Structure 1
Amino acid sequence: MKHIHIVTTVVRSGLFGLALLSGVALAQASLDQQLAGAWTYVSVDTVRPDGSRTPMYGANPRGLVIFDGHGHYALVNTRGDLPKYESNDRMKGSVEEYRAVVQGSIAHFGTYVVNEADKTLTFRIDTSTFPNWNGVEQRRPFVLTGDELRWTTPAASGGGSGEVVLKRAK
């Protein structure tokens, strides 16, 4: 019985030590390292100067942002309620269907840089579904807390500022 107690104590001590080391490793990881991975959208709001908010991609935005940890990213975001094309052919959508897709989605990819000192994320957009962003750099202040990532787009393309909330994909 004493032998089991000693073994249990040793195992618990070892697990506690590993947990402690994991916590230290996470605390010492750079923001860039913490950012690496896949993130899903929780909300994307337009915030007006008076503080009022409008969901930019509806109540349940869908999408994914991937930071590869080596300076490359890909981002796609859509409304959760985009209508299906009546023709079932993406090349034969109606004007209304095309408008819904363009106004209800955004995608871009390129490289990114994390500035640890001022906690900003700079997207160097290679290509976007909004061509005016091709070749543009966009700097966004961000906060990373555990499995939640928030960034602000100071001048959103639809007016006001944008607030994006994401959670780490599981």
Structure 2
Amino acid sequence: MYLSRSLTLAAVSLLLLAAAPPEQGSSKQLMGTWTLVLCDNVYPDGRRVQLYGPQPQGLLMFDAQGRYSLHILRAGRARFASNDKGQGTAEEYKATVQGSNSHFGRYTVEGAKGTLTFHIDHASFPNWEGTAQQRAFTLTDDELTYTVPVPTSGGATAVGEVKWRRMR
């Protein structure tokens, strides 16, 4: 009887643990597809610069195996006149580089610290390749916001703010 009661308690405990919600800010809560809401640089005086315009386009995907893919684009980018990316003008190349940001690799989450780290395998900004980019983040059911302490542009005093909305 004692063994039966112990087994029942153990089984109930396991069921409760399995049904427990994931830790706040855990990787399980990030899994899925997110669309970009904003991508701004914020300066100490409160000024904001919309890096990819007023309606930036973007997609961020986190999977269960710890991989991610992130893409940000300026809406309304001009097409290359030559219709050949190998035959662009200096202005077209500059607009393309400044109007996009993309990277992919693995991610880790430290919920207790409130940090998300992108372990970047490859990036459109080559200086980020092979780096670990840590972000302080907040997460609600449908919104993920993180800061970029050293953004790819904007100068030493800029801090990036990026906001994503979960796709439903």
TM-score by length of 1: 0.82
Structure-2 separation of matches of 1:169 and 1:87: 35
Within 5 Å, give how 1:105-116 maps onto structure 2.
Answer: 105-116=100-111
Shift >3 Å, 4+ stretches? none
Matched, 1:29 2:22: yes
Q: Residue deviations 1:89-114, cap 9 Å, x none?
A: 22211111110000110111110100
Structure-2 separation of matches of 1:77 and 1:55: 12
Within 5 Å, give how 1:76-91 maps onto structure 2.
Answer: 76-91=71-86
Match of residue 127, structure 2, among 125, 132, 152: 132
| 8 Å contact kept, 1:35–1:69 | no
Counterpart of 2:10 in structure 1 is none
- 1:156 Cα deviation after fit: 1.2
- What SS does the corresponding residue of 1:28 show, helix, strand or coil? coil
Structure-1 separation of matches of 2:34 and 2:66: 15
Gaps of 5+ in 2: 1-18
Gaps of 5+ in 1: 1-24
Counterpart of 1:162 in structure 2 is 160
Aligned-pair identity (%): 48
One-letter identity of the residue aligned with 1:167: R
- 1:38 Cα deviation after fit: 0.7
Structure-1 separation of matches of 2:122 and 2:102: 8
- 1:29 Cα deviation after fit: 2.1
- 1:51 Cα deviation after fit: 1.4
| 8 Å contact kept, 1:151–1:164 | yes
- Across the aligned residues of Structure 1 and Structure 2, the Cα RMSD in angstroms comes to 1.2
Counterpart of 1:4 in structure 2 is none
- As a proportion of its length, which structure holds more helix? 1
TM-score by length of 2: 0.83
Structure-2 separation of matches of 1:37 and 1:93: 36
Match of residue 60, structure 1, among 55, 67, 73: 55
One-letter identity of the residue aligned with 2:22: A
Structure-2 separation of matches of 1:81 and 1:169: 22
